[in-house]
Amino acid sequence: MKPKIVVGHLYPDYLNIYADRGNIAVLERRAAWRGIGFDYRTIGLGEEANPDEHDLYYVGGGQDREQALVAPDLATKGESLREAVAGGAAFLAVCGGYQLLGRFYRGRSGAELPGIGLLPQHTVAGERRMIGDVLLECELEPGHRRTLAGFENHAGRTYLDEGAEPLGRVVAGFGNNGEDGVEGSRFGSALGTYLHGPLLPRNPWLADWLIGKALARRLGEPPDLEPLPDDFESSAQRVSAERARARGGRF
């Protein structure tokens, strides 16, 4: 039997700004090209997130209104999602979804939306939006540095706890808050980021990292993923990286 991964997409009807749903399409195609089964399931309001059921979770971005609609429901799923990640499940959260994986998101009015406390961070709304192409330097595996290119558009300022691990170091762009030179957050196989676009079409190596972590959770050991011809994807990454560098490094 061919290997299979089960993917849980949280709130696809609410959190899908800037074509973030495209990240799911990339994961599905890159799995299919390798003969890996892809069982896609949505997890909506009022539905359970069984920690034993999914190998990979995904949540996209949304405006404050959509975040306010899903935040209380997501909080009820928090224990299950933390248990899933502790058990080896992978997780990718983008922008609004990323903010809700922390302890809280405080809006301009001072009201706080509850987070699930999976990622060691909190977010507060700022006055000025941080917009533009972003380039990061990441090292998700020791000794393997890679670049990650994307687009950010957020007013929230995310601050990691002391000692927390970011997704990457900002080469160009604003990052989490425009102050500390880092972007995103990582806890085990869970990643959060502000990079939209969607992110994975121009960064296939990250899609493969997530697929690998999901397969490791399913099979009990890290897989050897067959390389794919990524000429088109690499070209898109280079264009995005060049645009980010043209902004000038901020850190």
Residue numbers annotated as active site: 95, 196
* Both tokens assigned to 11: 């709130």
Phi, psi at residue 92, to the nearest 5°?
-125, 125
User: Of the candidates 110, 121, 104, 244, which has an alpha carbon nearest to the alpha carbon of residue 193?
Assistant: 121
Q: Are 36 and 214 in contact (CB under 8 A)?
A: no
Q: How far apart are CA 30 and CA 212, in angstroms?
A: 11
Q: Are 181 and 3 in contact (CB under 8 A)?
A: no
State how beta strands 121-141 and 168-172 pair: antiparallel
Q: Are 38 and 4 in contact (CB under 8 A)?
A: yes
Q: How far apart are CA 80 and CA 144, in angstroms?
A: 31
End-to-end CA distance of the chain: 49
Q: How far apart are CA 33 and CA 153, in angstroms?
A: 32
Amino acid at residue number 66: E
Sign for the CA dihedral angle at 236, 237, 242, 247 comes to positive
